[in-house]
Amino acid sequence: MALIQLANPTRFLTISGRVLPWLWGATIILVVAGLYYAFPGSPGAATNVGETVRLMYVHVPADWLALLTYGLMAAAAVGTLVWRHPLSDVAQKAAAPIGAAFTFLGLVTGMLWGQPTWGTFWVWEARLVSFLLLFLVYLGLIVVWRTMEDPGRAGRVVSVLTLVGAPLLVIIHYSVDWWNSLHQGAGILSGSTDDAFLTPLFLMLGGYSFLFISLLLTRMRTEILGRRLRTMQLGAAGQEA
């Protein structure tokens, strides 16, 4: 089956309708398992951050998903601008609020972790400021989607803006290396984190990832049906006139 056939909105609705219950199920199982290892089955306190290590299991997945969502939106933006892929702008529109929510959670849980470990909720330093900028970019893209009535035109405008904002991902990633930062470096996958803490972290990361996919597909379905509804309403209004 050609990829373009898979991208057909009607086929997408059929396939996503079949897989969504499984995705929601996987989300619940992974999050419950992650919570078990974060609390009753916890490996205990970390030497440097004590019991607040538990905040890592909600902070790091939120941060990763915030960046991943924007990365996917940038890829979808290319799909919209280059191939005019029928599902690309639908995916972008559906993903933006999810990305904004993960970015918000990354910021808030980071602040809650910052106070007991750094002694402050907020510092105007590169990682935090670039992450705040990402949140503002998400909000800006949502506003553009909401203010433009024609989804096709809005999709192209948002695609350009999304690609303009894409270098922010590189700045966020390398901000802790390029500038002096209170924020810790990218050490989780480099072996500096004790293996015992990786079990709850990766379970929660899995749960957040499945949550993201489930929400994305659900919102894409709503967007496709919403566009059909709009077409039908316009048609009905034309008939009445």
Partner 1 sequence: MGLGEHAGYIIAGYLISFSVAGGGVVWSLAQGRRVQARLCELEARGIRRRSDKKKSGAAVADQEGKA
Cα separation, 195 vs 15, whole angstroms: 37
Nearer to partner 1, 106 or 155 (CB): 106
Instruction: Tell the smallest beta-carbon distance from residue 167 to partner 1 (Å).
Output: 27
Could you list the residues that contact partner 1 (CB under 8 A)? 39-40, 42, 45, 50-52, 54-55, 58-59, 62, 97-98, 101, 104-105, 108-109, 112-113, 115-116, 211, 215, 218-219, 221-222, 225-226, 228-229, 231-233, 235-236
Residues in Cβ contact with 106 at an 8 Å cutoff, skipping those fewer than 6 apart: 59, 62, 63, 66, 131
Angle between helices 126-147 and 56-78 (to 10 degrees): 50
Instruction: Tell the smallest beta-carbon distance from residue 8 to partner 1 (Å).
Output: 12
Cα separation, 182 vs 29, whole angstroms: 35
Nearer to partner 1, 52 or 181 (CB): 52
Instruction: Tell the smallest beta-carbon distance from residue 191 to partner 1 (Å).
Output: 25
3-state secondary structure of 41: coil
Instruction: Tell the smallest beta-carbon distance from residue 179 to partner 1 (Å).
Output: 26
DSSP letter (8 states) at residue 80: I
Nearer to partner 1, 79 or 114 (CB): 114
Question: Number of helices (H) and strands (E), helices first, in the chain?
Answer: 8, 0
Taking CA atoms, 67 is separated from 3, 102, 152, 165, 224, in Å, by 26, 9, 25, 12, 25
Nearer to partner 1, 82 or 236 (CB): 236
Cβ-contact 27, 203 below 8 angstroms: no
Instruction: Tell the smallest beta-carbon distance from residue 2 to partner 1 (Å).
Output: 20
Nearer to partner 1, 76 or 94 (CB): 94
Taking CA atoms, 133 is separated from 126, 127, 152, 165, in Å, by 10, 10, 26, 10
Instruction: Tell the smallest beta-carbon distance from residue 34 to partner 1 (Å).
Output: 11
Nearer to partner 1, 192 or 231 (CB): 231
